[in-house]
Structure 1
Amino acid sequence: MTELGDYLRACRARMSVEEAGIRTSGHRRVPGLRREELAMMAGVSVDYVVRLEQGRARSASPEILLALARALRLHADEQAYLLRCATEADAPAQRLHPQRAAAQQVSTATRTLLNSMTAVPALVLGRRMDVLAWNPLAAALITDFGKVAPTHRNHVRLSFLDPHVRGLYADWETVAKECVAYLRMDAGRYPEDRALADLVEELSLADEDFRHWWSTHRVRAQHCGRKEFRHPLAGELSLDYQVLDVRGAADQSLLVYTAEPGSRTAQALTFLAAMRTPAAA
Structure 2
Amino acid sequence: MPEHGSLGAYLRNRRTKLDPVGFGFSGRRRTAGLRREEVAQRANISATWYTWLEQGRGGPPSAEVLDRIARALTLSDLEREHLFLLGLGHPPEVRYQGPDPITPRLQRVLDALTYSPAIVRNATWDVVAWNRAAAVVLTDYARLPPDGRNILRMIFCDARVRAAQADWEAVARFVVGTFRIDAARAGADAAIAPLVDELCQRSPEFRALWQDNEVGRHGEGVKRLRHPVGGELALEYSAFLVDGRPDLGMLVYQPATEADRAVIERLVDGTIALAAE
TM-score, normalised via structure 2 length: 0.61
1:201 pairs with one of 174, 197, 207: 197
Residues of 2 paired with 1:209 and 1:232: CA distance?
A: 25
Tell me which residue corresponds to 1:115.
111
**Offset of 1:192 from its aligned partner?**
5.7
Tell me which residue corresponds to 1:94.
93
Instruction: State whether residues 120 and 129 of structure 2, in contact with CA within 8 Å, keep that contact through their aligned partners in structure 1.
Output: yes
Residues of 2 paired with 1:273 and 1:258: CA distance?
A: 13
Residues of 2 paired with 1:241 and 1:107: CA distance?
A: 23
- 1:176 has 2:175 as partner: no
Residues of 2 paired with 1:187 and 1:248: CA distance?
A: 16
- Give the residue type in structure 1 aligned to 2:262: Q
Tell me which residue corresponds to 1:143.
139
Q: Which runs of 4+ in 1 moved over 2 A?
A: 93-97, 186-195, 248-251
Tell me which residue corresponds to 1:275.
270
Residues of 2 paired with 1:168 and 1:223: CA distance?
A: 22
2:260 pairs with one of 241, 256, 265: 265
Tell me which residue corresponds to 2:124.
128
Instruction: State whether residues 239 and 258 of structure 1, in contact with CA within 8 Å, keep that contact through their aligned partners in structure 2.
Output: yes
- 1:216 has 2:212 as partner: yes
- Give the residue type in structure 2 aligned to 1:256: V
Aligned residues: 183
Instruction: State whether residues 96 and 193 of structure 1, in contact with CA within 8 Å, keep that contact through their aligned partners in structure 2.
Output: no
Instruction: State whether residues 115 and 261 of structure 2, in contact with CA within 8 Å, keep that contact through their aligned partners in structure 1.
Output: no
SS for the counterpart of 1:250 is strand
In structure 2, stretches of 5+ residues that fail to align are: 1-89
The structure showing larger relative contact order (alpha-carbon pairs under 8 Å, at least 6 residues apart) is: 1
Alignment identity in percent? 33
Compare 208-217 and 149-158 and name the one that shifted more: 149-158
1:188 pairs with one of 171, 175, 184: 184
- Give the residue type in structure 1 aligned to 2:180: R
Residues of 2 paired with 1:187 and 1:124: CA distance?
A: 15
Tell me which residue corresponds to 1:54.
none
2:149 pairs with one of 153, 169, 172: 153
TM-score, normalised via structure 1 length: 0.60
Residues of 2 paired with 1:191 and 1:208: CA distance?
A: 26
Instruction: State whether residues 234 and 272 of structure 1, in contact with CA within 8 Å, keep that contact through their aligned partners in structure 2.
Output: yes
Instruction: State whether residues 241 and 249 of structure 2, in contact with CA within 8 Å, keep that contact through their aligned partners in structure 1.
Output: yes
Residues of 2 paired with 1:177 and 1:267: CA distance?
A: 30
Map residues 7-22 of structure 1 onto 2, 5 A cutoff: none
Instruction: State whether residues 230 and 263 of structure 2, in contact with CA within 8 Å, keep that contact through their aligned partners in structure 1.
Output: yes
Residues of 2 paired with 1:217 and 1:193: CA distance?
A: 14
Residues of 1 paired with 2:125 and 2:227: CA distance?
A: 22
- Give the residue type in structure 2 aligned to 1:126: N
Tell me which residue corresponds to 2:57.
none
The C-alpha deviation readout for 1:18-55, integer Å capped at 9, x for no partner, is xxxxxxxxxxxxxxxxxxxxxxxxxxxxxxxxxxxxxx
Residues 232 and 222 (structure 1), Cα distance of their counterparts in 2 relative to 1, 3 Å cut: same
Residues of 2 paired with 1:261 and 1:253: CA distance?
A: 25
Tell me which residue corresponds to 1:244.
240
**Offset of 1:191 from its aligned partner?**
6.2
Instruction: State whether residues 104 and 126 of structure 1, in contact with CA within 8 Å, keep that contact through their aligned partners in structure 2.
Output: no
SS for the counterpart of 2:134 is helix
**Offset of 1:128 from its aligned partner?**
2.1
**Offset of 1:185 from its aligned partner?**
1.0
SS for the counterpart of 2:234 is strand
**Offset of 1:261 from its aligned partner?**
4.8
Instruction: State whether residues 142 and 168 of structure 1, in contact with CA within 8 Å, keep that contact through their aligned partners in structure 2.
Output: no
Residues of 1 paired with 2:184 and 2:110: CA distance?
A: 29
Instruction: State whether residues 224 and 242 of structure 1, in contact with CA within 8 Å, keep that contact through their aligned partners in structure 2.
Output: yes
Residues of 2 paired with 1:241 and 1:221: CA distance?
A: 13
